[in-house]
């Protein structure tokens, strides 16, 4: 039999998260106060997030220990499998070796619990009773609902309205885990009401939902806020993906020539890529790393690196990132998890430093690749993950054209069990490609804050 699956034993499992900030050859630009334009520090951010997570947010230590209580829960589904996609290789008739790390085996079906569990854990340790957050496709919201349930915390989730309507089963999952789920924009917050006053039919965006969740946390003493992507500590927690993959590929006797991940806020991409970027910086390893994003929300490929707000209501500090403008509301395509105007500052910084390249695909092309993958490998990917799939398949096709036997590693960040309506629509020819909204983005970019962008 040919080996197709690689799993680590307990002795080889990561005991610490890897922090790429320790290896950056140039430090991350500071976070700025939106009123003064001055750098802000841990004390300004702790009221919203709690001090332990903010210490991680600003840390430049290379390794940060994973608490036992966190690992105790992560072990339920970790180590996640690294698969050699032998049937896909055959279907593509490629000389390339294709490996994928499969994060869909977590209870909520994606990589999101990797950070939901530690975030809920640290909040619980600091005496927090209630957590507010936003969710796009629902993968983050259901993961945080799960983690809050495990640690006895209340959970309030603002879900982007287009996904709230597309995905009642994700809502049911959150509610089964005991969370409360509200469609965003909603009339429960000032930021939500302001958006609705302007556009009562607004389909929502991650930027708007973040404003609502942040507002609730800022106004209630017993509530703190959690974010499912973008922030440094979130990306940190996701590095278990890449740390495991490094040892699993070692078991397979391989090393990646190309790594592919999809990017929305940047967390699953960082999870698989950052530990390898560390090796590139420290040991001079040569890997081509490719971020794949939706053509309808092309943050890395078309957004400039600027200071901008993380949310639409402009309640957050300013961070330097590739952005399409925080007032831009992406079209309602099916990869809800990738509908974000900005990009994680650490990912943006890594691109500036030349550590990876970015590319974009239209919706229909990503679904075609997803169906091709499902037929070969038996796993139906989440629409977000289809961006990584199409990226990996194009790389394998290039290997065939060039006759090169490269090793391709990609992150299959979640399954599509809660996204089958998108596949029904795709199979029925009802999905469309969205035009990149040049004018809307130009307007949104024109409204960027002045601080940091002179």
Applying CB under 8 A, the residues found at the interface with a copy of itself are 1-2, 4-5, 7, 68, 71-72, 75-76, 83, 87, 105, 107-109, 146, 149-150, 168-169, 172-173, 175-178, 371, 374-375, 377-380, 417-418, 420-421, 423-424, 427
CA dist., res. 414 & res. 265, Å (int): 15
Distance between CA atoms of residues 343 and 303, nearest Å: 9
Query: Please, which residue, 311 or 377, has the CB nearer to a copy of itself?
Result: 377
Q: How far is the CB of 77 from a copy of itself (least distance, A)?
A: 8
Closer to a copy of itself at the Cβ: 108 or 184?
A: 108
Q: The tokens 């169906």 sit on which residue?
A: 371
Minimum Å gap between C-beta 104 and a copy of itself is: 10
Q: Which is nearer to a copy of itself, 39 or 168 (CB)?
A: 168
The minimum distance between CB 150 and a copy of itself, in angstroms, equals: 7
- Provide the 8-state DSSP code for 391: H
Q: From the CB of 379, what's the least distance to a copy of itself, in Å?
A: 5
Q: Which is nearer to a copy of itself, 352 or 375 (CB)?
A: 375
Q: How far is the CB of 87 from a copy of itself (least distance, A)?
A: 7
The position carrying tokens 């960040």 is 413
Do the bridges between strand 82-84 and strand 154-160 make them parallel or antiparallel, or are there none, so unpaired? unpaired
Minimum CB distance to a copy of itself smaller for 5 or for 282: 5
Cβ-based nearer residue to a copy of itself, 74 or 216? 74
Nearer Cβ to a copy of itself (2/283)? 2
How many residues comprise the chain? 454
Both tokens assigned to 37: 């334009």
Q: How far is the CB of 75 from a copy of itself (least distance, A)?
A: 6
In whole angstroms, the minimum distance from the beta carbon of 72 to a copy of itself comes to 5
Toward a copy of itself, which CB reaches closer, 355 or 412? 412
Instruction: Give, for 383, the enclosing helix (H) or strand (E).
Output: helix 383-402
Provide the 3-class DSSP secondary structure of residue 57. Answer: helix
Q: 177 with 157: CB under 8 angstroms? A: no
Alpha-carbon gap, residue 39 to 319, rounded angstroms: 10
CB-based contact 409:249 (threshold 8 Å): yes
User: Shortest approach of a copy of itself to residue 33 CB, angstroms?
Assistant: 39
Does residue 155 have a cis bond before it (omega within 30 degrees)?
A: no
Pair 59, 21: CB distance under 8 Å = yes
Q: What stretch of H or E contains 361?
A: strand 357-361
Q: What is residue 363's three-state secondary structure?
A: helix
Can you tell me the distance from the alpha carbon of 429 to that of 365, in angstroms, rounded to the nearest whole number?
A: 13
């Amino acid at each position: 039999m040919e080996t197709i699956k690689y799993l680590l034993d307990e002795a080889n499992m990561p005991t610490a998260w890897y922090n790429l900030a320790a290896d950056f050859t140039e430090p991350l630009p500071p976070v700025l106060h939106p009123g003064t334009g001055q750098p802000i520090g841990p004390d300004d951010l702790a009221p919203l997030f709690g001090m332990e997570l903010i210490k991680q947010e600003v840390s430049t230590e290379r390794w940060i220990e994973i608490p036992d209580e966190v690992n105790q829960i992560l072990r339920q589904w970790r180590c996640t499998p690294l698969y050699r996609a032998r049937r896909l290789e055959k279907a593509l008739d490629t000389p390339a070796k294709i490996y994928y790390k499969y994060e869909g085996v977590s209870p909520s079906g994606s990589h999101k619990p990797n950070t939901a569990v530690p975030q809920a854990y640290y909040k619980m340790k600091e005496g927090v009773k209630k957590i507010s957050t936003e969710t796009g496709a629902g993968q983050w919201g259901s993961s945080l609902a799960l983690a809050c349930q495990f640690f006895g915390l209340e959970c309030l989730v603002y879900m982007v309205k287009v996904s709230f309507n597309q995905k009642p089963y994700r809502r049911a999952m959150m509610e089964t885990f005991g969370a409360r789920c509200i469609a965003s924009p909603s009339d429960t917050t000032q930021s939500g009401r302001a958006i609705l006053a302007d556009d009562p039919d607004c389909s929502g965006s991650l930027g708007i939902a973040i404003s609502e969740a942040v507002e609730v946390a800022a106004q209630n003493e017993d509530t703190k806020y959690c974010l499912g992507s973008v922030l440094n500590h979130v990306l940190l927690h996701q590095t278990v993906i890449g740390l495991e993959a490094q040892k699993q590929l070692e078991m397979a006797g391989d090393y990646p020539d190309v790594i592919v991940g999809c990017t929305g806020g940047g967390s699953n991409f960082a999870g698989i890529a950052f530990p390898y970027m560390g090796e590139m910086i420290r040991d001079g390893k040569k890997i081509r790393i490719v971020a794949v994003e939706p053509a309808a929300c092309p943050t890395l490929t078309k957004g400039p690196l600027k200071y901008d707000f993380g949310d639409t209501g402009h309640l957050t500090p300013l961070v330097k990132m590739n952005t399409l403008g925080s007032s831009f509301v992406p079209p309602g395509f099916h990869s809800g998890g990738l509908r974000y105007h900005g990009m994680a500052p650490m990912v943006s910084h890594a691109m500036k430093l030349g550590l990876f390249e970015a590319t974009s695909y239209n919706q229909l092309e990503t679904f075609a690749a997803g169906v091709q993958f499902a037929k070969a490998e038996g796993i139906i990917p989440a629409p977000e993950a289809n961006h990584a799939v199409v990226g990996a398949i194009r790389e394998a096709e290039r290997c065939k054209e060039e006759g090169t036997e490269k090793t391709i590693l990609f992150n299959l960040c979640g399954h599509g069990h809660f996204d089958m309506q998108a596949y029904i629509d795709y199979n029925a020819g009802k999905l469309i490609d969205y035009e990149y909204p040049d004018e809307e983005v130009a307007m949104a970019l024109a409204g960027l804050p002045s601080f940091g962008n002179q």
